[in-house]
Amino acid sequence: MSEIDGLIDRYHSWLRDKSAWRTVDRWTEITAPYLDRNNDYLQLYLRKSDDGFILTDDGETIQGLLAEGCTLDSPKRQTLLRTTLAGYGVHEEKGKLTVRATLDNFALKKHSLVQAMLAVGDMFYLAEPHIVSLFMEDVKTWLDEIDVRYSENISFVGKSGYARKFDFLIPKSKTAPERIIKTINNPARHAADSIIMDWIDTKESRKEDAKLYAFVNDNDRKISSTVIDALESYDISSVVWSNRNSARAALAA
């Protein structure tokens, strides 16, 4: 067994051991061992349906953002929300993030919903209510400004069989390897942990010299050194937004 296989096996064991299930009326509440931006464990809800199962966050993700003053009513934010959810195969139904599953794909669908909850919560997290730009859009605008060719919202199937979503893919050129970008709007440790697991799971399926860059938003906030150290320890290049031009040559090559 390779070192990567061992890491994935330990991850699956941790995921199983740290998840909690309890039945509430017709629903089963699942507490997943992932922390949101407020350091609370994610909770999702499972119910049997005529053609399989329904999994939902019961509206907690979007309601949490609204309660913190982050509105999603502009066309730009609605488009970004729909695009983000589509990347995970998740739908919004009356403010609830929802997927439908069968016995065969339940694990994959549950994973997709958890990742969508984390992505939406992180993407729309704003340090102050008056901030109107979204970090992923800022990164996209900057890539356009420096004339980088890229694809958006890319998913790779990892060794675990789960789809792992990344924000941008810059193809290999004559002078540079494949470059993959993931953005971190809310620079908390849980966001770094999520990216690390995505990279561990997919790295072997990419070209040997492929490189992952994590763009970290430091607008009006301080970034903990533990976040940067965690990323760098797994050979993920962290790019602090205020120092983004340090990565310009590598990405534009």
pLDDT digits (tens, 9 = 90+) for 143-168: 999 999 999 988 888 887 778 889 99
| Domain presence at residue 130 | no
245 and 172 together in one domain: yes
For 82, the token pair is 């729909």
| Residues whose CB falls within 8 Å of the CB of residue 213, separated by 6 or more in sequence, listed in order | 179, 180, 181, 182, 236, 237, 238, 239, 247, 250, 251
Say which residue the tokens 């620079």 belong to. Answer: 187
Across all residues in the chain, what is the average pLDDT? 84
The pair of three-digit structure tokens given for residue 224, joined into one six-digit string: 């903990």
pLDDT band, residue 223 (cuts 50/70/90) = confident
Say whether 242 sits in a helix, a strand or coil: helix
Residue 210 sits in the same domain as residue 175: yes
Instruction: State the CATH number of the domain containing residue 101.
Output: 3.30.1460
**Structural domain contains residue 129:** no
The predicted model gives 6-10 an average pLDDT of: 63
Give the residue with greater pLDDT, 32 vs 126.
32
21 with 87, same domain: the answer is yes
Q: Write the CATH number for 237.
A: 3.40.1350.10
pLDDT of residue 214: 95
d(CA 83, CA 180): 18
Query: Which pLDDT score is estimated for 125?
Result: 61
Average pLDDT, integer, range 179-203: 86
Whole-model pTM: value is 0.60
211 shares a domain with 108: no
Strand partners, 119: none
- pLDDT value at residue 17: 59
User: Phi and psi of 92, rounded to 5°?
Assistant: -100, 125
Q: How many domains does the chain have?
A: 2
- The answer to which of 80-84, 137-141, 142-146 has the lowest mean pLDDT is 80-84
The reply to whether 73 falls in a domain is yes
Same domain, 116 and 146: no
Tracing tokens 């066309």 back to the chain, one arrives at: 75
Answer whether residue 127 shows pLDDT above 60. no
Average pLDDT of the residues in 31-47 = 83
Answer yes or no: do 211 and 100 share one domain: no
Question: Is it the case that residue 98 has pLDDT exceeding 90?
Answer: yes
Containing domain of residue 14, as a range? 3-123
In a domain, 128, yes or no: no
Q: Of 188, 192, 184, which is closest to residue 38 (Cα–Cα)?
A: 188
Q: Kindly state whether residue 52 falls inside one of the protein's structural domains.
A: yes
- What per-residue confidence (pLDDT) applies to 203? 86
Per-residue pLDDT band for 131 (boundaries 50, 70, 90) equals very low
Residue 8 pLDDT: 60
Q: Final residue of a domain: which of 98, 123, 148?
A: 123
Binned at pLDDT 50, 70 and 90, residue 5 comes out as low
Other beta carbons within 10 angstroms of residue 19's beta carbon come to 14
